[in-house]
Amino acid sequence: MEMKKSRKILLTVIGIIVAVYTLFPFYLVVMNTFKSANSIVSSPVGFEGISVSQLMTNLSSVVNNSNFNFWYAFGTSVIITVVSLIVLALFGGMAAWVICRNKTKWSTAIYMVFIASMIIPFQVVMLPLISTFRDVGNFVGISLLQSIPGIVFAYCGFGGAMTVFILTGFIKGIPYELEEAASIDGCSPEGTFFRIIFPLLTPVITTVTILNGMWIWNDYLLPSLMLGQNGKVKTLPVAVQAFVGSYVKQWDLILTAALLAIIPMVIIFLIAQKQIMNGMVEGAIK
Amino acid sequence: MASIRFENVTKTYEGATSPVVPNLNLEIKDKEFIILVGPSGCGKSTTLRMIAGLETITEGELYIGDRLMNKVPSKDRDIAMVFQNYALYPHMNVYKNIAFGLKLRKEDPAEIDRRVHEAAKILDLEHLLTRKPKELSGGQRQRVALGRAMVRNPAVFLLDEPLSNLDAKLRASMRTEIAKLHQRLDITFVYVTHDQTEAMTMGDRIVVMKEGVVQQFDTPQALYEKPVNLFVAGFIGSPQMNFLDVEIAKEGRKLYAVLGKNKLAVPDFKCNALAPYAGKRVIMGLRPEDFLGQNQLTEDNAMDTEMSFSELLGADYNLYMSVNDIRIIVKIPAAGAQPERGSYRIAANMDHAHFFDKETEQAICH
């Protein structure tokens, strides 16, 4: 009993340390959006100089800044994220279903390729990827760099592996008899997917969509490489770069813009966290 | 017309060295209630799934009515199927589950509604129409699965062990419901089970299968009274038939089944068939209920036995006895009986004895 109690205390202490460690950057961002640039430099961690009026001033400066172009960047981020997520959910689901139900050497090989691609770090492929995209774009006559379709295409490629991996695990738990019953009832294979399988995937697709959504929405590296720092198309994380100069960094505006960028994801995550956990567990045990 | 005909049908799974169903020839008449029965892995479900179009046919031809079905997809076979785990669509309520097949066939919405409510009324599901499958009990799910199949008015109704997930009481009542459903729908039913009680009580005719081969295809009574081989004799009936390794002895015109010191006279009407086996050993089968009362005990039907224990089943006792170290079960009426361990002389009803060739295991006479 004593052992159990001391173990519990130890785990709680570790949990608190990890929570503080994880939340501290978020605390810094939120706290400093209430401060002026001078207050941030003089006291980046403390509460000195915080005021709601300063927050309003910072928000106004960020939203109305012509270099930052908040609404355009916000719209671009929304389009890239939403389109990528729809394509990932739809085609990821189809791929996972076919891989799971067709027990051939080819389907196993394709599944292995998906899994293998998950263990290759993005940093390894990012530079060859850019030159490949440029060459392919030149070849087909469609610009894949500095364009929304190009980056959506890249996100679908990078997100496809995890999506297929999680969905495959879930589909294995769906009784095959449901599909047989559907085919006897008169469903075509496409009908079976959209009328039976896809609705049953809703919990896990929600989970995957939120995980992919957080990644795509917050991603900086891929859009900065594909869209460029000074390109016409910018996502929110890339656009924040507008406040970073060679000699001066406008920390009040950088942090306020960062807060604006992460707020939608935080809200969605808080609303859907129960769904995420359910989806993770179902995917794991089914 | 929905007769079903298998002509030299063989099913071999990919990568398998031997077929799971080799050269099946079977004709099921229109509106018959047929039971496919056999132990696990005997090919009965595969046979049903070939009718449903869920398994491809490696060789041979399958006809439903006069139509060759080998390449016809499931949805175009005019069949409905009830699965062992019911296969209800979890995201649809009972109404949508039942109506699904009709909607896909683009039936008139008013007609769909009428047929769903009609099926729900027959199956006592009207108050459950808005519920999802997870909110239903096993028996209710089973009825929804039946409703989903019957609402389509199929020509052939296929059932794959539909009662195996239910408890004993519910199983007994659902047996009756399915038999009634067959009478009401008046279409061909093909029912797969490994439970011989279900087989005996429900079917017009029963197909007993073993290792993909049809052992006997006959009425329940014929299977019980005249099993064609040892396998059918052992499979049909509960408790199963007692098998005794006996020697056929000839004394004058009479034949005797000799088992140690026991010498049982073979009835005259079985003698002709058994005569060639005089001096040879055969398997004699006696069902547990084929023993007579003490008042009918004679020197010609007496067996010396040793009883080890008894089981009270309510109306009957099952007595576990041994004859010449061979274990047998004897069923006697429970009324007035108080069986105790010990030695007994019991009377075998030799009129009901079955004899099987020891090598071929085929029946010699009944």
User: What's the per-residue H, E or C state across chain B?
Assistant: CCCEEEEEEEECCCCCCCCCEEEEEEEECCCCEEEEECCCCCCHHHHHHHHHCCCCCCEEEEEECCEECCCCCHHHCCEEEECCCCCCCCCCCHHHHHHHHHHHCCCCHHHHHHHHHHHHHHCCCHHHCCCCHHHCCHHHHHHHHHHHHHCCCCCEEEEECCCCCCCHHHHHHHHHHHHHHHHHHCCEEEEEECCHHHHHHHCCEEEEEECCEEEEEECHHHHHHCCCEHHHHHHCCCCCCEEEEEEEEEECCEEEEEECCEEEECCHHHHHHHHHHCCCEEEEEECCCCEECHHHCCCCCEEEEEEEEEEECCCEEEEEEEECCEEEEEEEECCCCCCCCEEEEEEECHHHCEEEECCCCEEEEC
Cα of A85 to nearest chain B Cα, Å: 23
Nearest residue, CB atoms, B81 vs list A184, A200, A202: A184
- Averaged pLDDT, A180-192: 94
Confidence of residue A3 (pLDDT cuts 50, 70, 90): low
In this structure, is the dihedral angle defined by the CA atoms of residues B198, B200, B206 and B208, taken in order, positive or negative? positive
Asked whether residue A31 is assigned to any structural domain, the reply reads no
Chain A residues with CB within 8 Å of chain B CB: 175, 177-178, 180-187, 191, 196, 199-200, 202
- Averaged pLDDT, B176-191: 92
Percent of chain A with pLDDT over 90: 48
* Chain B residues with beta carbon closer than 8 angstroms to that of A191: 104
pLDDT at B136: 92
Alpha-carbon separation of residue B118 from A193, B109, B294 (angstroms)? 30, 14, 57
pLDDT at B197: 86
Reply yes or no on whether the pLDDT at B112 is more than 70: yes
pLDDT in tens, A110-151: 999 999 998 888 888 888 989 999 999 889 888 888 899 999
Q: Which of A25-29, A178-182, A209-213, A260-264 has the highest average model confidence (pLDDT)? A: A178-182
pLDDT at B353: 96
Confidence of residue A284 (pLDDT cuts 50, 70, 90): very low
Ramachandran angles phi, psi of A4, nearest 5°: -65, -40
How far apart are alpha carbons B80 and B190 in whole angstroms?
10
pLDDT at B21: 95
Confidence of residue A278 (pLDDT cuts 50, 70, 90): low
Confidence of residue A242 (pLDDT cuts 50, 70, 90): confident
Cα of A280 to nearest chain B Cα, Å: 19
Instruction: Give me the number of domains chain A comprises.
Output: 1
Reply yes or no on whether the pLDDT at B189 is more than 60: yes
Amino acid symbol at B193: T
Q: Which of residues 149-188 of B touch A (CB under 8 A)?
A: 152
* Chain A residues with beta carbon closer than 8 angstroms to that of B74: 180, 183-184
Contact pairs from chain A to chain B, CB under 8 Å: 54
Asked whether residue A98 is assigned to any structural domain, the reply reads yes
Cα of B154 to nearest chain A Cα, Å: 11
User: Apex CA A141: angle with CA A140 and CA A146, to 5°?
Assistant: 110
Contact B80 A184 (CB under 8 A): yes
Confidence of residue A283 (pLDDT cuts 50, 70, 90): very low
Which residue of A184, A187, A192 is the best one to mutate when testing the B interface, meaning the one whose CB has the most B CBs within 10 A?
A184
Contact A200 B104 (CB under 8 A): no
Total-model pTM: 0.82
Cα of B70 to nearest chain A Cα, Å: 15
Contact A177 B83 (CB under 8 A): yes
Which residue of A176, A178, A179, A185 is the best one to mutate when testing the B interface, meaning the one whose CB has the most B CBs within 10 A?
A185
Mean of pLDDT over chain B: 93
* Chain B residues with beta carbon closer than 8 angstroms to that of A194: none
Nearest Cα residue in chain B from A201: B91
Reply yes or no on whether the pLDDT at B169 is more than 90: no
pLDDT at A23: 92
Cα of B14 to nearest chain A Cα, Å: 11
Asked whether residue A274 is assigned to any structural domain, the reply reads yes
Contact B74 A184 (CB under 8 A): yes
pLDDT at A286: 32
Percent of chain A with pLDDT over 70: 95
Cβ-Cβ contacts under 8 Å for A89 (sequence gap 6 or more) = A163, A205, A208, A209
Nearest residue, CB atoms, B89 vs list A180, A184, A196: A196
pLDDT in tens, A218-228: 999 999 999 88
Reply yes or no on whether the pLDDT at B7 is more than 90: yes
- Averaged pLDDT, B12-21: 91
Reply yes or no on whether the pLDDT at A285 is more than 50: no
pLDDT at A240: 86
Which domain, by its residues, includes A139?
Answer: 65-285
| Residue A240 DSSP one-character state | G
Contact B87 A177 (CB under 8 A): yes
Asked whether residue A277 is assigned to any structural domain, the reply reads yes
Q: B365 or A66: whose pLDDT is higher?
A: B365
Reply yes or no on whether the pLDDT at B342 is more than 80: yes
pLDDT at A1: 54
Q: Which of B209, B170, B261 is nearest to B21 (CA)?
A: B209
Reply yes or no on whether the pLDDT at B94 is more than 70: yes
pLDDT at B322: 94
Asked whether residue A54 is assigned to any structural domain, the reply reads no
Ramachandran angles phi, psi of A92, nearest 5°: -60, -45
Which residue of B50, B74, B160 is the best one to mutate when testing the A interface, meaning the one whose CB has the most A CBs within 10 A?
B74
Reply yes or no on whether the pLDDT at B100 is more than 50: yes
Q: Which residue is it, tokens 């089914």?
A: A286
- Averaged pLDDT, A189-202: 94
* CATH number of A75's domain: 1.10.3720.10
List the alpha helices (DSSP H) in A64-201.
70-101, 105-118, 122-140, 148-172, 176-185, 189-192, 198-200
Nearest residue, CB atoms, B52 vs list A184, A196, A202: A184
Contact B79 A187 (CB under 8 A): no
pLDDT in tens, A63-98: 888 878 889 999 999 999 999 999 999 999 999 999
pLDDT in tens, B234-267: 999 989 999 999 999 999 889 999 999 999 999 9
Asked whether residue A25 is assigned to any structural domain, the reply reads no
Cβ-Cβ contacts under 8 Å for A157 (sequence gap 6 or more) = none
Q: Which of residues 43-82 of B touch A (CB under 8 A)?
A: 52-54, 73-75, 79-81
How far apart are alpha carbons A250 and A33 in whole angstroms?
11
How far apart are alpha carbons A67 and A65 in whole angstroms?
6
Asked whether residue A208 is assigned to any structural domain, the reply reads yes
pLDDT at A280: 55
Q: Which of residues 86-115 of B touch A (CB under 8 A)?
A: 87, 89-91, 100-101, 104-105
pLDDT in tens, A159-175: 999 999 999 999 999 99
**In contact, B200 and B56? CB cutoff 8 Å:** no
Amino acid symbol at A49: G
Q: A92 or B14: whose pLDDT is higher?
A: A92
